[in-house]
Structure 1
């Protein structure tokens, strides 16, 4: 059986804003999290540096295939750390690795075509499903955006996120179930290959979580930006 590594993306402009908000003592009500400028945020200069600094560690991993979230912070991190990897692994964009829907950071600006700077990745799982949100989480909130235009989808997601905050559009049971569902996919690939997943803190935390004896969800590993989890549990 092959190995599985989970990698969290590097620092983004939204992460930077949260860090500054915490430094200032958490003033106000954190409404900046729903501002359009943070939609699908890319990496800061520090995030790019974090990615570059982890290249030797990533290149030491015997990875044959990589799956990456469709959000730009994950795509950018993945592109930096796996570029010129000695194995030249295939990189496949997979919607199931998307972060939990909570704020502008988690609203994709994807519009049905690969981002040009990442067109060398395999987008086939996205191109066959341009409105991919329902394949991630099919609940009463996500059903409201099916059939909307891309612009309408972004507006509606932000509107719903803001209206139910601090709750999430995708609750922890749904996210835990999504993580477990994805294990079926990785298990098949791990039969013959070593696999890396480039994703997000929320997804990874519930992917690596478990149920206690009472059936309650126990969250798993919280990764910092550009940290790697060597996943040792059974898939």
Structure 2
């Protein structure tokens, strides 16, 4: 798959110090003891907007920086897509990902992670036989319009399925469809927050002048401290729920492979998600103040063979 960066993207990569090279992986190493392959999404439009803001305001603060509220709450930034640089990063990693055999790849339902998965696996020799499954619990911290997926089951789904079909990839939306439009709210690990927001959505639906779903959620983001509907504590708990779901699936798949006479260490489970979510997923604890200091911070489109044991 050929892909070339525009001169504009090359210019901004230098001005904003955006690395074009992705972390390399020694594909000759034995990863038989690592059943999972962790992958962070590529450089996104939200990442680019953050680079713009921090370039103009190197000492930015949430409450004082010009342009920050617009970046975090403007509806035009809803469910940020990959930047051209992010697509370029995915193409660079195709040879590395093609070295692995996959049973299933679990993906965050946000646009940039779906795009990352499609472009990354676009040349995988077995892509038509891999199960690509959207898992709601892999979604990034709900802390901005860029991390809010408002149209997952409507226009975004049409766009992503059209892109996937170009590369003979099929994406399973069933786990998202089960939860419906407000899936991202329903997986939040705080019953009171979920009840409060779902209650507002229900009351909003009873009004004659019903506001669209995305406007209600963006208003919630604006009213929270530092735009965080989902705190670190909530994200940590959600990441562990995702980990539990995936580990249980992996154990079931392993037993099935053994019964069918396959080497259970040969096929991997992929996880395509986000920086903060994976930091929490790979951490062993949360601090007393509710922060997460442990965990692995992946770079954009970094491929990390991993074991949760």
TM over 0.5: yes
Deviation at 1:76, TM superposition (A): 0.6
Whether 2:261 is the aligned partner of 1:187: answer no
Q: CA deviation at 1:228?
A: 2.1
- In 2 relative to 1, CA 142–154 (structure 1 residues): closer, same or farther, beyond 3 Å? farther
Q: Does 1:110 align with 2:159?
A: no
Report the counterpart of residue 47 of structure 1 in structure 2.
86
TM-score calculated relative to the size of structure 1:
0.88
For 1:170 and 1:143, locate their aligned partners in 2 and report how far apart those are by CA, in whole Å: 14
Where in structure 2 are there 5+ consecutive unaligned residues?
Answer: 1-32, 162-169, 255-266
Q: Write the distance in 2 (CA, Å) between the matches of 1:46 and 1:183.
A: 29
Cα shift at 1:197: 0.8
Alignment partner, residue 136 of structure 2: 95
Of 128, 137, 144, which aligns to 2:196?
144
Taking the aligned partners of 1:178 and 1:206, their CA distance within structure 2 comes to 9
Runs of 4+ with >6 A deviation: 212-216
Which deviations, in whole Å up to 9, do the C-alpha atoms of 1:100-126 show, x marking residues without a partner? 110111111325347124333111111
The corresponding residue for 1:178 is 238
Q: Which residue of 2 aligns with 1:10?
A: 42
TM-score by length of 2: 0.69
Higher alpha-carbon deviation: 164-173 or 65-74: 164-173
Q: CA deviation at 1:215?
A: 9.8
Residue-pair matches, total: 234
- Give the superposition deviation at 1:82: 1.4
**CA distance in 2: counterparts of 1:213 and 1:167, whole angstroms:** 21
CA distance in 2, matches of 1:213, 1:30: 28
The question of whether the paired residues in 2 share the 8 Å contact of 1:210 and 1:218 is answered with no
For 1:7 and 1:199, the matched residues in 2 are separated by 6
Q: For residues 209 and 167 of structure 1, do their structure 2 counterparts lie closer, same or farther at Cα, with a shift above 3 Å needed?
A: farther
For 1:224, the equivalent position in structure 2 comes to 299
Gaps of 5+ in 1: none
SS at match of 2:47: helix
Q: Are 2:281 and 1:207 aligned?
A: yes
Residues 151 and 221 of structure 1: CA distance in aligned 2, closer, same or farther (over 3 Å): farther
Q: Secondary structure of the residue that 2:217 maps to in structure 1? A: helix
Answering whether residue 82 of structure 2 is matched by residue 82 of structure 1, we say: no
SS at match of 2:46: helix
Quote the Cα distance in structure 1 between the aligned partners of 2:109 and 2:212.
19
Comparing 133-142 and 78-87, the one that deviates more: 133-142
Q: Tell me the residue number matched to 2:52.
A: 20
